[in-house]
């Protein structure tokens, strides 16, 4: 019996050993590496830790410095890219003790020259509907707006947001004259930049 117990002992000892804990899977990040400046960038995330943030910064900027920062609420968040052409860095960060962010992942990001196109009739009657199509970076705050030709870049008027729909019908002014249809980009580092213009005559 003693010999039988001795034979069982190694197996019993092995059964009592705790299992090795698994190392948590590392987060991952994937996105386009080149986009039009001022456009929206979709980012694919997996296994992101609690409190993670997405940031766009210049490559040499410290972890605490960023041009754009968002806190993802889905696995495919989007954020607006800077409106200036250049080389940047997409980062996944997490706040550490003391509030200092730590960069978990990074990926190069290049922005290309922004451009836009406008389509609309060149003439419209007073207070009549003007069908318009505007396509550009389509950032969240970009606008297609109808204003006086000498109006400042941030002037208001009949407008729509191409990020919601690239086509809309604007109501023409009730005063005849020459007006200007504009695509106005409003992006980080490039607020109220006019990318396209089209002359409209109100009769």
The answer to whether residue 51 scores a pLDDT higher than 70 is: yes
**Architecture (CATH level 2) of domain 26-112:** Sandwich (2.60)
pLDDT at site 5: 45
Digit-coded pLDDT (tens) for 153-196: 999 999 999 999 999 999 999 999 999 999 999 999 999 999 99
With beta carbons less than 8 A apart as the criterion, state whether 67 and 58 touch.
yes
What would the two tokens of residue 127 be? 């207070």
The answer to whether residue 69 scores a pLDDT higher than 50 is: yes
pLDDT at site 100: 83
Average pLDDT over residues 128-142: 97
The answer to whether residue 4 scores a pLDDT higher than 60 is: no
Q: What one-character DSSP code corresponds to residue 164?
A: T
Residue 131's Cβ-side half-sphere holds a number of Cα atoms within 13 Å equal to 1
Q: What one-character DSSP code corresponds to residue 29?
A: E
- Distance from C-alpha of 182 to C-alpha of 196, rounded to nearest angstrom: 6
Comparing 24-28, 49-53, 142-146, 180-184, the range with the smallest average pLDDT is 24-28
Higher pLDDT, 24 or 111: 111
Distance of CA 94 to the CA centre of its chain: 19
Query: The tokens 């009949």 sit on which residue?
Result: 158
Digit-coded pLDDT (tens) for 74-90: 999 999 999 999 999 99
Every domain of the chain with CATH number 2.60.40.1930 lies at 26-112
Every domain of the chain with CATH number 2.60.40.10 lies at 117-202
Selection from 123, 141, 125, 130 nearest residue 183 by Cα: 141
Q: Percent of the chain at pLDDT above 90?
A: 82
Higher pLDDT, 130 or 51: 130
Query: The tokens 């001795």 sit on which residue?
Result: 6
Digit-coded pLDDT (tens) for 93-132: 998 876 789 999 999 999 999 999 999 999 999 999 999 9
State which fold the 117-202 domain adopts: Immunoglobulin-like (2.60.40)
């Amino acid at each position: 019996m003693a010999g039988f117990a001795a034979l069982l002992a190694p197996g019993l000892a092995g059964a009592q050993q705790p299992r090795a804990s698994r190392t948590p899977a590392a987060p991952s990040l994937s996105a386009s590496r080149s986009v039009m400046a001022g456009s929206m960038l979709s980012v694919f995330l997996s296994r992101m830790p609690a409190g993670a943030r997405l940031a766009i910064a210049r490559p040499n900027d410290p972890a605490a410095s960023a041009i754009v920062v968002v806190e993802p609420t889905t696995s495919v968040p989007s954020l607006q890219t800077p409106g200036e052409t250049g080389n940047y860095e997409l980062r996944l960060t997490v706040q550490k003790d003391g509030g200092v962010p730590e960069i978990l992942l990074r990926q190069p990001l290049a922005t290309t020259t922004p451009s836009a196109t406008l389509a609309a009739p060149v003439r419209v009657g007073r207070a009549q509907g003007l069908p318009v199509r505007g396509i550009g970076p389509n950032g969240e705050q970009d606008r297609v707006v109808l204003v006086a030709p000498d109006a400042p870049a941030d002037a208001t008027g009949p407008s729509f947001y191409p990020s919601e729909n690239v086509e809309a019908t604007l109501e023409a002014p009730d005063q005849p004259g020459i007006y200007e249809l504009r695509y106005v980009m409003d992006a980080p580092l490039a607020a109220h930049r006019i990318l396209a213009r089209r002359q409209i005559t109100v009769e």
